Amino acid sequence: MRRKLIFIIPGVIAVIMLAAMFWLNYEPPVFDPLERARLHAETHGHRNEAGFVITSTLIDTVNLLLDKRGGYMSNDVTPPWVLLDNLPNWEFGVLTQVRDLARAFRNDFSRSQTQSAEDPDLAEADPLFHFDSERLMLPSTESQYRKGVEHLEAYLARLTDPTDPQAQFYARADNLVDWLSVVEKRLGSLSQRLSASAGQQRLNTDLSGDPEARQSTGAPGEVHVQTPWLEVDDVFYETRGAAWALVLFLRAMEADFEDVLRKKNALVSFRQIIRELESTLEPLHSPMVINGRKFGLFANHSLVMANYIARANAAIIDMRILLSQG
């Protein structure tokens, strides 16, 4: 009997671990920013002013990141959480977009001009979201991010208070352009990293277009770039997390910047960006991220994802040009 238990107990533990990993490996679906904003307004008695939808969406995104099934996993060191790597990479993709948007709030959306004072709550929230994403010991990552949410909620309360003119959100085309320029760079980087899954010979175009340009150190004219095999799924899920957050933020931006987008006749083009990013969130009908050759027998999920990201990025470039025009 004891000999049987030696084999049975580890088998039972392994089955429980696998079941827990399957249950925890869960990407939450995108929510409706407008509906969440409406519920937020009803719960807290806020008015739907300019910037209300995107601010409440940022708050809800961070809360969902921390409170989703299994909680925040990037700093876990115990099984079965430590055995999961897809969700931590997904979380980092979401977190990168949260950090970029929080900084845009601090530097652009809440300020009327470069010489205006920054909002005190946003000045506190921004560095809190840039806290180490994998820290477990005190202060923990979760505690710092929750403090950041508290400052965002304080900003939102002041933003909707008619007696407090200090808290502002400026829904101007130039502010939207500044944020989209950051998104453009993030998506461009992700597209390149995804494309490198199959290996590429890339020409060095770092100094193209400027004959007087210089760089700090020399670089070869042609390099071979390929994502290590064990990191292919990491880049894939980081991209899915970034796209998930961007779908939410862009939907919220559409509501808060609707007048600006209509005036520029850019509403349909803006929605097309969202449509391209939504395509990246379709369920993966495979037990793993397949990394086939470019035109080989098996699919390459990273290249499919890179296609959607590149299309969204191209649409954002066109959108920035359109919004920048008078």
> pLDDT confidence of 41, banded at 50, 70, 90?
confident
**Beta-bridge partner residues of 203:** 222
**Beta-bridge partner residues of 200:** 225
More confidently predicted of 9 and 190: 190
Range 94-108 average pLDDT? 96
Reference 192, options 179, 181, 205, 180; nearest CA is 205
Range 206-221 average pLDDT? 63
Residues 6+ away with beta carbon under 8 Å from 178: 104, 107, 108
Range 78-91 average pLDDT? 80
Range 185-206 average pLDDT? 80
> pLDDT confidence of 92, banded at 50, 70, 90?
very high
Q: Does residue 264 belong to any structural domain of this protein?
A: yes
Q: Does residue 186 belong to any structural domain of this protein?
A: yes
- For the stretch 107-157, pLDDT in tens is 999 998 777 889 999 999 999 999 988 887 888 899 999 999 999 999 999
Segment among 59-68, 219-228, 230-239, 253-262 with least mean pLDDT: 219-228
Sign, CA dihedral 142-54-68-243, equals: negative
Give the pLDDT score at 191: 93
- Up-side HSE of residue 64: CA atoms within 13 Å toward CB? 21
CA–CA separation, 267 and 88 (whole Å)? 34
More confidently predicted of 68 and 85: 68
Residue 24 has pLDDT above 90, yes or no: no
Residue 316 has pLDDT above 80, yes or no: yes
Range 81-86 average pLDDT? 73
> pLDDT confidence of 221, banded at 50, 70, 90?
low
Q: What is the mean pLDDT of the chain?
A: 85
Helix (H) or strand (E) holding 239: helix 232-256
Residue 66 CB-density burial (10 A; 0-12 exposed, 13-18 middle, 19+ buried): middle
Q: Does residue 56 belong to any structural domain of this protein?
A: yes
- For the stretch 145-171, pLDDT in tens is 999 999 999 999 999 888 878 889 999
Q: Does residue 217 belong to any structural domain of this protein?
A: no
Residues 6+ away with beta carbon under 8 Å from 236: 194, 289, 301, 302, 305
Tokens read off for 172: 């101007």
Number of structural domains, the chain? 1
Range 26-43 average pLDDT? 88
Q: Does residue 60 belong to any structural domain of this protein?
A: yes
Reference 74, options 99, 95, 91; nearest CA is 91
On whether the CB atoms of residues 18 and 122 are closer than 8 A, the answer is no
On whether the CB atoms of residues 237 and 90 are closer than 8 A, the answer is yes
Range 316-322 average pLDDT? 93
Range 293-303 average pLDDT? 75
Q: Does residue 16 belong to any structural domain of this protein?
A: no
Q: Does residue 18 belong to any structural domain of this protein?
A: no
- For the stretch 249-264, pLDDT in tens is 999 999 999 999 999 9
Percentage, residues of the chain above pLDDT 70: 80
Burial 143-157 (b: 16+ CB within 10 A, else e): ebbebbbebbbbbbe
Indicate the residue type of 49. E
Q: Does residue 20 belong to any structural domain of this protein?
A: no
Range 192-208 average pLDDT? 72
CA–CA separation, 12 and 100 (whole Å)? 44
* Structural domain for 48, as ranges: 30-202+223-324
